[in-house]
Amino acid sequence: MSTSSAELSTAETTSAAAGDGPNGRPPRRRAPRKYPLLPYVLLFPATAVIVVMLGYPLYRLVQLSLQDFGLPQVFGQPAEYVGLANFREILSEPYFWTVLWRTLIFCGVNVAITIVLGVMIALLMNQLGSKMRLVLSTSLILAWAMPALTATVVWQWIFDTQYGLANWVFDRQGESWLAEPISFFMVATIIVVWMGVPFVSFTIYAALSQIPTSMLEAAALDGANGRTTFRYVIFPALKPILLIVTSLSILWDFRVFTQIFVLQRAGGVSRDTNLLGVYAYRISIGENAFDTGAAVAIVMVLITILLTLFYMRALLKEDDV
C-alpha cells in the first residue's frame, strides 16, 4: 500500500510539474481580453467634431491670453509673448473682483429662485387635472422656446420708461427701472428666472411621476400632512434630480450674457451692472484689449470647468444609486 501511494504521489507530482490538470489534461489558459473597436469607431466622429469646434477656439483663447494682443496685432503686427502678465493685471485689479463677486451673487440668487419656483410649479402640475396641466405645460413650453434676445426685448418693453406696463401698474411714469443697479438686476433676474423655470418644472414633474403611489398612500395612512409628506417622502426621492438640475442651472446662469448686454444698451449703467461675460466682451471689443479680455474669458472657462466637474460628480453618484 505504501509503495502504491508513493508511486501515485510521484505521478501527481510529475503531472503537476509537466503542467497537466487534475485529469491529465493541460490547464486551460484564459483568452486575452478583447476590447471591441466598434464603440470607439462610433464615438470618433462626434469626438472629432467637438475637438475641431471647441479645441481650436480654446487654444486660440489661451494663446491670446499669453500675448500682448491689441488693435495693431489685428492688422498684422506680430504679437509679443508676455506669459501670465495679463492674468496678473486682471487679478490685481479691484474692479475685476467686484465683477466676479457680482456674478457669483447674481448666479446664486437666480438659481435659488429658479429652483424654488420650478419645484412649486411641478408640484402644482402634479395636482392639476389633465386640461389645466396641458394649459400650464403649453405656457411653460412657449416661455422656454422663446430665444433669449426676444424674451429680453419683450421684457424691456414691459419695463419701458414711458409706455411700459410695469410703470403703469406701479405708478412710475417717467422713471427708469434700468438706471439703478438694484432695479436693473431685478429686471434681469425676472428674465433669467422666467426662462429657466420651465426646464426645472418639467424635470421635477417627470421625477414626481416616478414616485410610487404606494409610498404616498402609506404616508397618508400614517397621518402625515402635506408638509411632512414632502419632507420625508417626496424630497428624498427628488434629491438626486434636484442636485443635477441645480448644477445645470448654476452652469447656465453663471454664463448669462444676452440679457445683461441688451438691458445695458436699453439704459443700464455698464460699470455698475457688468457681469463676467459682458465684462470680457467690453474689454475685448470696446477697449481693443483682446489679450486682457481673453484672460478674463479663461478665468470664466476655469470656473465653468469646476462647475462641470461638480455636475459630472453628481451625475456619477446618481448612476451609482
- Provide the 3-class DSSP secondary structure of residue 29: coil
| pLDDT value of position 320 | 59
* Integer Cα distance of 243 and 310 in angstroms: 10
Answering whether pTM is above 0.85, one says no
- CA 202 to CA 126: how far, in whole Å? 11
Domain locations in the chain as residue ranges: 96-320
Show the CA angle centred on residue 200, arms to residues 198 and 204, nearest 5°: 120
Nine cell digits for residue 16 = 503537476
Contacts of 209 (CB under 8 A, 6+ apart): 126
Query: Which homologous superfamily does the CATH classification assign to the domain defined by 96-320?
Result: MetI-like (1.10.3720.10)
Q: Are 161 and 176 in contact (CB under 8 A)?
A: yes
Alpha-carbon gap, residue 132 to 141, rounded angstroms = 14
Classify burial at 67, counting beta carbons within 10 Å of its beta carbon; exposed 0-12, middle 13-18, buried 19 or more: buried
Grid cell of 136 as nine digits: 400650464
pLDDT of residue 117: 94
Reading the chain (321 residues) residue by residue, the pLDDT tens digits are 444 554 445 544 554 444 455 555 555 666 556 667 888 888 888 888 888 888 888 888 888 889 888 888 878 788 888 889 889 999 999 999 999 999 999 999 999 999 999 999 998 998 888 888 899 999 999 888 888 888 888 888 888 887 778 888 877 777 788 888 898 999 999 999 999 999 999 999 998 888 888 887 787 777 777 788 888 788 888 888 888 898 889 888 998 999 999 999 888 888 889 999 999 999 988 888 888 989 999 999 898 888 888 777 776 776 555
Q: Which pLDDT belongs to residue 1? A: 46
Please, are residues 211 and 122 in contact by the beta-carbon 8 Å criterion? no
